[in-house]
Amino acid sequence: MDRLSLNQITTKTWSLREAVAGCAEAGVGWIGLWRDKVAEVGVAEAARLVRSHGLRVSSLCRGGFFTGVTPEGAPVDGVADTRQAIEDAARLGTDVLVLVVGGVANRDLPGSRRRVAEAVDQLAPVALRHGVRLGLEPLHPIQCAERSVLSTLDQAVAIAEPYPPEAVGVVVDEFHVWWDPGIAESIPRAAGRIVGFHVCDQLVPLTDPLLARALPGAGPIDHRTLRACVDAAGYTGPIEVEVFNADLWQRPGAEVLAQVISSYRNHVVGVPGG
Protein backbone atom coordinates (compact mmCIF):
# COMPACT_ATOMS: atom_id res chain seq x y z
CA MET A 1 0.00 0.00 0.00
CA ASP A 2 2.87 2.42 0.56
CA ARG A 3 3.46 2.60 -3.20
CA LEU A 4 -0.12 3.30 -4.25
CA SER A 5 -0.68 6.71 -5.80
CA LEU A 6 -4.00 8.19 -6.90
CA ASN A 7 -3.66 9.77 -10.29
CA GLN A 8 -6.04 12.68 -10.12
CA ILE A 9 -7.73 11.94 -13.44
CA THR A 10 -9.28 8.84 -11.85
CA THR A 11 -11.32 11.03 -9.51
CA LYS A 12 -11.94 13.73 -12.05
CA THR A 13 -14.92 15.24 -10.24
CA TRP A 14 -12.75 15.98 -7.20
CA SER A 15 -10.98 19.33 -7.04
CA LEU A 16 -7.35 19.25 -6.02
CA ARG A 17 -8.35 20.22 -2.49
CA GLU A 18 -10.85 17.36 -2.32
CA ALA A 19 -8.45 14.83 -3.84
CA VAL A 20 -5.70 15.69 -1.39
CA ALA A 21 -8.07 15.48 1.57
CA GLY A 22 -9.56 12.25 0.20
CA CYS A 23 -6.16 10.58 -0.11
CA ALA A 24 -5.15 11.63 3.39
CA GLU A 25 -8.44 10.33 4.77
CA ALA A 26 -8.05 6.98 2.98
CA GLY A 27 -4.41 6.52 3.92
CA VAL A 28 -3.09 6.90 0.38
CA GLY A 29 0.31 8.60 0.65
CA TRP A 30 0.91 9.59 -2.97
CA ILE A 31 -0.96 11.63 -5.53
CA GLY A 32 -0.36 12.24 -9.25
CA LEU A 33 -1.40 15.80 -10.10
CA TRP A 34 -2.80 17.29 -13.30
CA ARG A 35 -1.95 20.80 -14.32
CA ASP A 36 -5.52 21.92 -14.97
CA LYS A 37 -6.47 20.93 -11.42
CA VAL A 38 -3.36 22.61 -10.02
CA ALA A 39 -4.23 25.77 -11.95
CA GLU A 40 -7.56 26.03 -10.14
CA VAL A 41 -5.77 26.94 -6.89
CA GLY A 42 -2.35 27.96 -8.22
CA VAL A 43 0.95 26.15 -7.87
CA ALA A 44 1.91 27.63 -4.48
CA GLU A 45 -1.40 26.76 -2.85
CA ALA A 46 -1.40 23.30 -4.44
CA ALA A 47 2.06 22.64 -3.03
CA ARG A 48 0.93 23.85 0.40
CA LEU A 49 -2.18 21.66 0.35
CA VAL A 50 -0.22 18.56 -0.58
CA ARG A 51 2.37 19.19 2.15
CA SER A 52 -0.12 20.05 4.83
CA HIS A 53 -1.89 16.72 4.24
CA GLY A 54 1.38 14.82 4.47
CA LEU A 55 1.20 13.61 0.88
CA ARG A 56 3.91 13.24 -1.74
CA VAL A 57 3.45 13.99 -5.44
CA SER A 58 4.31 11.03 -7.66
CA SER A 59 4.20 13.04 -10.89
CA LEU A 60 2.79 16.06 -12.65
CA CYS A 61 0.72 15.48 -15.81
CA ARG A 62 1.71 16.78 -18.31
CA GLY A 63 4.10 18.56 -20.62
CA GLY A 64 4.85 17.75 -24.23
CA PHE A 65 2.94 18.25 -27.49
CA PHE A 66 6.23 19.00 -29.20
CA THR A 67 4.84 18.24 -32.65
CA GLY A 68 2.32 21.02 -32.20
CA VAL A 69 -0.54 18.57 -32.77
CA THR A 70 -3.08 18.22 -29.98
CA PRO A 71 -6.57 16.71 -29.93
CA GLU A 72 -7.96 20.24 -29.67
CA GLY A 73 -6.23 21.19 -32.90
CA ALA A 74 -4.96 24.57 -31.73
CA PRO A 75 -1.24 25.09 -32.27
CA VAL A 76 0.85 25.02 -29.10
CA ASP A 77 4.47 25.81 -28.33
CA GLY A 78 5.21 22.56 -26.58
CA VAL A 79 8.75 23.43 -25.60
CA ALA A 80 7.78 26.71 -23.89
CA ASP A 81 4.84 25.05 -22.18
CA THR A 82 7.01 22.21 -20.95
CA ARG A 83 9.61 24.64 -19.52
CA GLN A 84 6.82 26.09 -17.41
CA ALA A 85 5.65 22.61 -16.44
CA ILE A 86 9.16 21.67 -15.31
CA GLU A 87 9.21 24.69 -12.99
CA ASP A 88 5.76 23.85 -11.70
CA ALA A 89 6.77 20.25 -11.04
CA ALA A 90 9.77 21.38 -9.01
CA ARG A 91 7.63 23.79 -6.96
CA LEU A 92 5.08 21.03 -6.36
CA GLY A 93 7.82 18.86 -4.92
CA THR A 94 7.76 16.12 -7.55
CA ASP A 95 10.73 14.97 -9.57
CA VAL A 96 8.65 13.53 -12.44
CA LEU A 97 6.97 15.43 -15.27
CA VAL A 98 4.95 13.17 -17.55
CA LEU A 99 5.27 14.00 -21.26
CA VAL A 100 2.67 13.35 -23.94
CA VAL A 101 4.66 14.22 -27.03
CA GLY A 102 1.97 15.17 -29.58
CA GLY A 103 0.39 13.65 -32.68
CA VAL A 104 1.40 13.43 -36.32
CA ALA A 105 2.06 16.71 -38.11
CA ASN A 106 1.57 16.91 -41.90
CA ARG A 107 1.30 13.13 -42.37
CA ASP A 108 5.03 12.99 -41.61
CA LEU A 109 5.53 10.42 -38.89
CA PRO A 110 9.35 10.19 -39.06
CA GLY A 111 9.59 14.01 -39.11
CA SER A 112 7.20 14.32 -36.17
CA ARG A 113 9.28 11.85 -34.21
CA ARG A 114 12.42 13.86 -34.95
CA ARG A 115 10.73 16.97 -33.57
CA VAL A 116 10.14 15.12 -30.32
CA ALA A 117 13.79 14.14 -30.06
CA GLU A 118 14.84 17.74 -30.76
CA ALA A 119 12.52 19.09 -28.07
CA VAL A 120 13.84 16.60 -25.53
CA ASP A 121 17.35 17.69 -26.43
CA GLN A 122 16.44 21.29 -25.60
CA LEU A 123 14.62 20.43 -22.40
CA ALA A 124 16.86 17.81 -20.82
CA PRO A 125 19.29 20.39 -19.36
CA VAL A 126 16.36 22.45 -18.06
CA ALA A 127 14.91 19.42 -16.34
CA LEU A 128 18.26 18.46 -14.84
CA ARG A 129 18.73 21.97 -13.45
CA HIS A 130 15.35 21.78 -11.72
CA GLY A 131 15.82 18.27 -10.38
CA VAL A 132 12.88 17.05 -12.46
CA ARG A 133 12.99 13.98 -14.69
CA LEU A 134 11.13 14.13 -17.99
CA GLY A 135 8.93 11.05 -18.21
CA LEU A 136 8.42 10.10 -21.86
CA GLU A 137 5.17 8.17 -21.92
CA PRO A 138 4.48 6.09 -25.00
CA LEU A 139 0.75 6.19 -25.68
CA HIS A 140 -1.35 3.46 -27.23
CA PRO A 141 -1.01 3.42 -31.05
CA ILE A 142 -4.67 4.46 -31.29
CA GLN A 143 -3.49 7.88 -30.02
CA CYS A 144 -0.74 8.24 -32.64
CA ALA A 145 -2.60 10.66 -34.90
CA GLU A 146 -3.82 13.00 -32.21
CA ARG A 147 -1.69 12.73 -29.08
CA SER A 148 1.53 10.79 -29.32
CA VAL A 149 3.89 9.73 -32.08
CA LEU A 150 5.64 7.66 -29.43
CA SER A 151 3.73 4.39 -29.52
CA THR A 152 6.10 1.90 -27.95
CA LEU A 153 8.33 1.77 -24.90
CA ASP A 154 11.32 1.00 -27.13
CA GLN A 155 10.84 4.30 -28.95
CA ALA A 156 10.70 6.20 -25.67
CA VAL A 157 13.85 4.49 -24.39
CA ALA A 158 15.67 5.29 -27.64
CA ILE A 159 14.88 8.98 -27.23
CA ALA A 160 15.85 8.98 -23.55
CA GLU A 161 19.11 7.06 -23.92
CA PRO A 162 21.46 9.92 -24.91
CA TYR A 163 20.67 11.72 -21.63
CA PRO A 164 21.42 11.01 -17.99
CA PRO A 165 18.61 9.08 -16.26
CA GLU A 166 18.35 12.02 -13.85
CA ALA A 167 17.12 14.12 -16.79
CA VAL A 168 15.08 11.84 -19.07
CA GLY A 169 13.17 8.70 -18.21
CA VAL A 170 10.14 6.76 -19.38
CA VAL A 171 6.69 6.06 -17.97
CA VAL A 172 5.16 2.60 -18.31
CA ASP A 173 1.37 2.71 -18.48
CA GLU A 174 -0.34 -0.65 -18.74
CA PHE A 175 -3.14 0.50 -21.05
CA HIS A 176 -0.65 1.84 -23.52
CA VAL A 177 1.82 -1.06 -23.61
CA TRP A 178 0.09 -4.30 -22.61
CA TRP A 179 -0.58 -5.45 -26.20
CA ASP A 180 3.07 -4.93 -27.29
CA PRO A 181 4.53 -8.28 -28.35
CA GLY A 182 7.98 -7.01 -27.34
CA ILE A 183 7.04 -5.61 -23.93
CA ALA A 184 8.77 -8.36 -21.91
CA GLU A 185 12.04 -7.33 -23.55
CA SER A 186 11.34 -3.57 -23.67
CA ILE A 187 10.79 -3.16 -19.94
CA PRO A 188 14.21 -4.65 -19.04
CA ARG A 189 15.76 -2.31 -21.64
CA ALA A 190 14.16 0.59 -19.76
CA ALA A 191 15.82 -0.44 -16.48
CA GLY A 192 17.21 2.56 -14.64
CA ARG A 193 14.99 4.94 -16.58
CA ILE A 194 11.52 4.00 -15.42
CA VAL A 195 10.15 7.04 -13.60
CA GLY A 196 6.53 5.95 -13.34
CA PHE A 197 4.29 2.91 -13.50
CA HIS A 198 0.61 3.52 -14.23
CA VAL A 199 -1.93 0.75 -13.80
CA CYS A 200 -5.43 0.37 -15.19
CA ASP A 201 -7.33 -2.00 -17.43
CA GLN A 202 -8.97 -1.88 -20.82
CA LEU A 203 -12.72 -1.84 -21.21
CA VAL A 204 -14.17 -4.65 -23.32
CA PRO A 205 -16.09 -4.10 -25.52
CA LEU A 206 -14.34 -0.97 -26.62
CA THR A 207 -16.17 2.26 -27.08
CA ASP A 208 -14.44 5.63 -27.02
CA PRO A 209 -10.73 4.83 -27.32
CA LEU A 210 -9.69 7.59 -24.91
CA LEU A 211 -12.10 6.54 -22.19
CA ALA A 212 -11.86 2.80 -22.81
CA ARG A 213 -10.18 2.17 -19.47
CA ALA A 214 -11.21 0.54 -16.27
CA LEU A 215 -9.90 -0.27 -12.82
CA PRO A 216 -7.33 -3.07 -12.70
CA GLY A 217 -9.02 -6.46 -12.81
CA ALA A 218 -11.92 -5.44 -15.04
CA GLY A 219 -10.27 -6.27 -18.36
CA PRO A 220 -7.79 -8.40 -20.32
CA ILE A 221 -4.53 -7.05 -18.85
CA ASP A 222 -2.27 -9.40 -16.90
CA HIS A 223 -1.23 -6.94 -14.17
CA ARG A 224 0.88 -9.31 -12.13
CA THR A 225 3.11 -10.25 -15.03
CA LEU A 226 3.60 -6.63 -16.05
CA ARG A 227 4.28 -5.57 -12.47
CA ALA A 228 6.76 -8.39 -12.00
CA CYS A 229 8.54 -7.19 -15.12
CA VAL A 230 8.66 -3.57 -13.91
CA ASP A 231 9.83 -4.77 -10.47
CA ALA A 232 12.57 -6.87 -12.06
CA ALA A 233 13.73 -3.76 -13.95
CA GLY A 234 14.41 -2.19 -10.55
CA TYR A 235 11.56 0.29 -10.31
CA THR A 236 10.62 0.83 -6.68
CA GLY A 237 8.69 4.11 -6.92
CA PRO A 238 5.00 4.90 -6.60
CA ILE A 239 2.41 3.04 -8.68
CA GLU A 240 -0.31 5.32 -10.00
CA VAL A 241 -3.81 4.07 -10.61
CA GLU A 242 -4.80 6.18 -13.60
CA VAL A 243 -8.20 5.48 -15.13
CA PHE A 244 -9.99 7.47 -17.81
CA ASN A 245 -13.56 6.25 -17.49
CA ALA A 246 -16.75 8.20 -18.00
CA ASP A 247 -18.74 6.10 -15.52
CA LEU A 248 -16.19 6.50 -12.73
CA TRP A 249 -16.25 10.23 -13.39
CA GLN A 250 -19.94 10.31 -12.49
CA ARG A 251 -19.45 8.80 -9.05
CA PRO A 252 -18.39 10.35 -5.72
CA GLY A 253 -14.62 10.59 -5.35
CA ALA A 254 -14.47 8.73 -2.04
CA GLU A 255 -16.35 5.78 -3.50
CA VAL A 256 -14.01 5.69 -6.51
CA LEU A 257 -10.94 5.91 -4.29
CA ALA A 258 -12.18 2.98 -2.20
CA GLN A 259 -12.45 0.95 -5.41
CA VAL A 260 -9.01 2.09 -6.52
CA ILE A 261 -7.58 0.75 -3.27
CA SER A 262 -9.34 -2.61 -3.48
CA SER A 263 -8.54 -3.16 -7.16
CA TYR A 264 -4.91 -2.27 -6.47
CA ARG A 265 -4.78 -4.71 -3.57
CA ASN A 266 -6.47 -7.54 -5.42
CA HIS A 267 -4.99 -7.25 -8.88
CA VAL A 268 -1.74 -5.32 -8.74
CA VAL A 269 0.00 -6.20 -5.49
CA GLY A 270 -1.96 -9.29 -4.46
CA VAL A 271 -0.15 -12.60 -4.69
CA PRO A 272 -1.99 -15.18 -6.79
CA GLY A 273 -3.42 -17.77 -4.41
CA GLY A 274 -1.83 -15.85 -1.52
Residues that bind its own copies (CB under 8 A): 71, 103-104, 107-109, 113, 140-142, 144-146, 151-152, 154-155, 178-181, 202, 204-210, 212, 219-222
CB nearer to its own copies: pick between 30 and 244: 244
CB nearer to its own copies: pick between 128 and 210: 210
Q: How far apart are CB 211 and its own copies at their closest, in Å?
A: 11
CB nearer to its own copies: pick between 93 and 217: 217
Q: How far apart are CB 163 and its own copies at their closest, in Å?
A: 19
| AA letter at 67 | T
Q: How far apart are CB 142 and its own copies at their closest, in Å?
A: 4
CB nearer to its own copies: pick between 28 and 104: 104
CB nearer to its own copies: pick between 35 and 267: 267
Is residue 268 within 8 Å of 239, Cβ to Cβ? yes
CB nearer to its own copies: pick between 178 and 244: 178
Q: How far apart are CB 93 and its own copies at their closest, in Å?
A: 35
Q: How far apart are CB 25 and its own copies at their closest, in Å?
A: 33
Q: How far apart are CB 42 and its own copies at their closest, in Å?
A: 31
Q: Quick one: which of 4, 63, 48 has its CA closest to 28?
A: 4
Q: How far apart are CB 228 and its own copies at their closest, in Å?
A: 14
CB nearer to its own copies: pick between 41 and 142: 142
Is residue 133 within 8 Å of 169, Cβ to Cβ? yes
